Amino acid sequence: MKIIDAKVIVCSPGRNFVTLKIVTDEGVYGIGDATLNGREKSVVSYLRDYVVPALIGKDPHRIEDIWQFFYRGAYWRRGPVGMTALAAVDVALWDIKGKVAGLPLYQLLGGRSRDRIMTYTHANGQCMASTLEAVGQAVEAGYKAVRVQSGIPGMASTYGVAKDGHKYEPADADLPSESVWSTEKYLNFMPELFDAVRSKYGFDVHLLHDVHHRLTPIEAARLGKELEPFKLFWLEDCVPAENQESFRLIREHTTTPLAVGEVFNSVHDCRELIQNQYIDYIRSTIAHAGGITQVRRIADFAALFNVRTGFHGATDLSPVCMGAALHFDYWVPNFGIQEHMPHSKEMESVFTFDYTFDKGFFTPGEAPGHGVDIDEKLASKYPYKRAALPVNRLEDGTLWNW
């Protein structure tokens, strides 16, 4: 079997997606998600200019060798652009292997380890009252786990809160919009927020919260400690994680479980976090961390240290990534939770998928491969539109982490 073509499909059904379709001489094809939110075209170029020409003629069954070829062979290893491109190739090849074998992807990984996959969704509001209402709607929809983000008194806007009641889509402008951040206002409000959520909805629902990289280690330690009475499932990205060792300080102060890793693209980004047991959940996802081939290594390494998976699943990851992730989640022994934000109707018309949702749990479906496909004709009706992620400044104008 040989690869005879590889197409990079760019479309924007409500938001931008990049999809790689690898075609073989036997007519079987596979698809992979190559979307890097706000930097989509850099992955398009990486694939079209450097990866696709070298893919033609290769045997698609040699997934490991092809992975090593584009990882070691690039010389410039790692980085979000290269690893997103490599992930798209890898997932498309696993899709082909599943289709040829006539087996769903989770069977190729070792078969399922559970009956259903717990997912969490997002609840957000401009103020405490609307946030509480949004949590109620998520619980009503059947979710057993809910990520809670709220507008903060005295701040015009904050991360994770949609402007107009729509689903939260951060890449909202042609050039980066700017928001203003106050750590003091945020830290003062959070315990009050989670106290209100627990008072209203009790302790049966899992609650999660994303700090989105905005605190220093000692501030994160304070927040984790103050939220302990509300028993969070996890506190996510409480500090930027370039300095993995900084998590030691946070860990020494709080028992609130910690999740990190949606921006990581290599096992080396999380090696110290995992081997020192500084975190509880690793969020590095298939589309940004080199595909199934590398994420499997990260998950196996994490299992040695009781760290569980909690894959990133925001709407900027396409249904192709979601499909592949759900097969992985079905298999991975140290599964924790899967993030899920519903895609819009437009997106779900361009992509067809086999996975299903029932009362807070997903199952990946039994179609061979990962079970997700793209309607190329429909995709071509939604041309790319540049959309940038925002930037954040402190109240005195200093640029901060968004």
Residues numbered 225-264 forming contacts with Mg ion, rule: CB under 5 A: 262
206 contacts: CB under 8 Å, gap ≥ 6: 120, 144, 145, 146, 233, 337
Of 100 and 389, which has the nearer Cβ to ligand KDG?
Answer: 389
| Pair 119, 338: CB distance under 8 Å | yes
Q: Identify each DSSP E strand in 12-163 by its residue range.
A: 17-24, 29-33, 117-125, 145-150
Smallest gap, in angstroms, from Cβ of residue 210 to ligand KDG? 5
Report the residue from 33, 90, 210, 280 that binds ligand KDG according to the rule CB under 6 A: 210
Q: How far apart are the C-alpha atoms of 386 and 379, rounded to whole Å? A: 16
CA dist 157 and 103 (Å) reads 47
Would you tell me the crossing angle of helices 291-303 and 267-275 to the nearest 10 degrees? Answer: 10
Q: Is 265 one of the binding residues for ligand KDG (CB under 6 A)?
A: no
Among 219, 269, 339, 373, binds ligand KDG (CB under 6 A): 339
Query: Which of 212, 327 has the CB closer to ligand KDG?
Result: 212
Which segment (25-33, 221-229, 287-295, 309-317) binds ligand KDG by CB under 6 A?
309-317
Residue from 210, 269, 329, 373 binding Mg ion (CB under 5 A): 210
From 122, 206, 209, 212, active-site residue: 212
Cα separation, 256 vs 278, in Å, equals: 11
Choosing from 82, 104, 151, 170, the residue that interacts with ligand KDG (CB under 6 A) is 170
159 is catalytic: yes
Alpha-carbon dihedral sign for residues 150, 206, 283, 123? negative
Provide the token pair at 364: 């990946």
CA 66 from chain centre, in angstroms, equals 24
Q: Which of 20, 23, 273, 314 touches ligand KDG by CB under 6 A?
A: 314
Q: Which does 288 bind (CB under 5 to 8 A by kind): Mg ion, ligand KDG, none?
A: none
Residues in contact with ligand KDG by CB under 6 A are 37, 170, 210, 212, 262, 312, 314, 316, 339, 389
Binding region for Mg ion (CB under 5 A): 210, 262
Show which residues are catalytic: 159, 212
